[in-house]
């Protein structure tokens, strides 16, 4: 049973470009969470999705950021018109339940904005 | 709002020595408590968790943690560290929903 898969591992974008981060949850997991880790900080919750639904996006910036988890395929975190402050590690986690005690994390995507 | 505090940003310990990482949380009720480890360039790996019951929790890699309600603490310990324990350690809590709230992390350096 493969773990949570994130790709790419590293993503470099210039200011103003779009970044797409992908997350394939573990088999049988229908709950996906995105977290962001800024340098020298712990992880911060961004968004919680179930298949085809956004349950909680209270941690997402109001502009430029969006997330989806379609019926088929991976969850996508999309950042439009990236700025240098978006440079961070973005982690995806999946869970078989709606509660947070069985989270499995991916290895993350390191986004660098030039 | 709840918060998680890891007072030590960086700890250096000799190989074979004991290690204790501090974690305090602020919330009236007892949350679910976790310790994660992050090796360089890697994702987070769960070391152990506490939900209820015995306040001394055993985890993987020889780690244990003790929940102390009176101190709102959940400190992580290992009796004898190995060089491979060099990593960043995060304490986290889940309250009555699904969000993990993480501390800022403690970086552990192991010297020979």
Size of interface A-B (CB pairs under 8 A): 62
Chain B residues inside the 8 Å CB shell of A98: 98
Residue A101: the pLDDT is: 72
Question: Percent of chain B having pLDDT more than 70?
Answer: 96
* B40 close to A (CB below 8 A): no
Q: How confident is the model at residue B100 (pLDDT cuts 50, 70, 90)?
A: confident
| CA nearest neighbour of B44 among A40, A91, A33, A1 | A91
Report how far residue A88's alpha carbon sits from residue A111's, in angstroms, rounded to the nearest whole number. 5
Averaged pLDDT score across all residues of chain B? 91
CA distance A52 to A72: 9
**Letter string b/e over residues A68-83, b meaning 16 or more CB atoms within 10 A of that residue's CB:** bbeeeebbbbebeebe
Q: Which of A41, A91, A100 sits opposite B44 (nearest CB)?
A: A91
pLDDT tens per residue, range B35-89:
999 988 778 899 999 988 889 999 999 999 999 999 999 999 999 999 999 999 9
Q: Is the pLDDT of residue A1 over 60?
A: no
In 3D space, the residue among B106, B100, B67 whose CA is nearest the CA of residue A103 turns out to be B100
**Rounded Cα gap, residues A111 and A100, in angstroms:** 25
Of the residues A100, A106, A112, the best mutation for testing chain B's interface (the one with the most B CB atoms within 10 Å of its CB) is A100
Residues 50-79 of A with CB under 8 A from B: 56, 59
Are A92 and A105 in contact by the 8 Å Cβ rule? The answer is yes
Cα dist from B46 to A91, B29, B43, B89, B92, whole Å: 14, 23, 10, 10, 10
**Gap from A9 CA to chain B (nearest CA, Å):** 9
């Amino acid at each position: 049973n493969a773990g949570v898969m994130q790709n790419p591992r590293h993503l470099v974008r210039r200011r103003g470009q779009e970044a797409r981060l992908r997350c394939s949850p573990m088999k049988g997991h229908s709950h996906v969470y995105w977290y962001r880790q800024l340098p020298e900080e712990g992880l911060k919750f961004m968004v919680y999705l179930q298949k085809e639904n956004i349950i909680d996006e209270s941690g997402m910036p109001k502009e430029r950021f969006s997330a989806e988890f379609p019926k088929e395929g991976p969850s996508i975190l999309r950042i439009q018109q990236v700025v240098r402050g978006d440079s961070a590690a973005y982690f995806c986690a999946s869970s078989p339940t709606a509660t947070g005690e069985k989270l499995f994390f991916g290895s993350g995507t390191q986004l660098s904005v030039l | 709002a709840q918060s998680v505090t890891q007072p030590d940003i960086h700890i250096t310990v000799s190989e074979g020595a004991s290690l204790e990482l501090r974690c305090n949380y602020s919330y009236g009720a007892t949350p679910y408590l976790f310790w994660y480890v992050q090796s360089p360039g890697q994702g987070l790996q769960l070391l152990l968790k506490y939900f209820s019951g015995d306040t001394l929790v055993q985890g993987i890699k020889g780690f244990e943690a003790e929940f102390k309600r009176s101190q709102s603490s959940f400190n992580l310990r290992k009796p004898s560290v190995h060089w491979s324990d060099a990593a960043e350690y995060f304490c986290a809590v889940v309250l009555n929903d699904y969000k993990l709230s993480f501390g800022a992390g403690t970086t552990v350096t192991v010297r020979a």
